[in-house]
Structure 1
Amino acid sequence: MALPVPPACLSPLRSQLSSFDRAYRIALNLRRATGVPHYVVRGLAPFQAYRVTTRPPPWPDRWLAMVA
């Protein structure tokens, strides 16, 4: 099993790229482009804090925003 990478070794840009605000903006852009509702959900992996998907999450506690 791989050990997690300490935060000090990661790029400072990672926190900006993997923020909730960034995921929400991506969901807004995808909604405008496709016309399909998108969801921002909490990710399971530590390196993927937030995900954007077209399917509602099966666990309501992971659902953070819906862009309709």
Structure 2
Amino acid sequence: MEHPRVRLATTYHSSVAVEHDEVTGRPGSHQATRANIVEAVKRGIALKVAVLHAGDQARAERARAEQQAVG
């Protein structure tokens, strides 16, 4: 993570943990994903986050807004 050219990409399915975890099929994945996003932002690592709406535009918009607030 300390290399100057490190770049990360991830998907973010919902700002609601249970919804995110349902999409990934992995309990706790929301907490881990969000914590890693926050850490990357804190370290100044280039990060691309894809917000997938899976047919629920309102949920996707809430997730996008949350990610913009994180940075």
Please state which band the TM-score falls in when normalised by the shorter chain. Answer: 0.3 to 0.5
Q: TM-score, normalised by structure 2?
A: 0.34
Larger Rg: 1
More helix per residue? 2
Q: Whose relative contact order is higher, 1 or 2, with alpha carbons under 8 Å and at least 6 apart?
A: 2
